[in-house]
Amino acid sequence: MSESYPSQAKSTAAKASQVNVLLCPLCGEANGCSYAAGRPHSECWCNHAEFPEGVFDRIPAEQRRKSCICQRCLESYTDQAEHKQEPHS
């Protein structure tokens, strides 16, 4: 009798379906998403935030567009991006 193992695609799909929309996909902490918590999107902190190019590239592909990043991860990315752009004296 042979054992069958799930394919890589099925495994990836299972992980993606287990995404908790209330957690940041980068740090795993609460993301503060009002919409995911059942409140109007207009109440969300992200409506007043700027998301620099590249910030979402850090999210694993199977988790993109499944849950929001948190404000702390956004601020951390923004700080790192600003330090890279500052000229060295």
d(CA 20, CA 9): 20
DSSP 8-state assignment for residue 83: H
The length of the chain in residues reads 89
Q: In total, how many domains does the chain have? A: 1
Residue 50 lies in a domain: yes
Quickly count: other Cβ atoms within 10 Å of residue 68's Cβ: 23
Residue 54 lies in a domain: yes
Is the CB of residue 72 less than 8 Å from the CB of residue 29? Answer: yes
What pLDDT is recorded for position 17? 59
Residue 63 lies in a domain: yes
What is the span of the domain harbouring residue 59?
21-85
Q: Would you report the helix, strand and coil content of the chain in percent, each value rounded to 5?
A: 45, 0, 55
Residue 68 lies in a domain: yes
Is the CB of residue 47 less than 8 Å from the CB of residue 41? Answer: yes
Residue 1 lies in a domain: no
Is the CB of residue 22 less than 8 Å from the CB of residue 36? Answer: yes
Note down pLDDT in tens along the chain; length 89 residues.
444 444 444 444 445 458 899 999 999 999 999 999 999 989 999 999 999 999 999 999 999 999 999 999 999 999 988 877 655 55
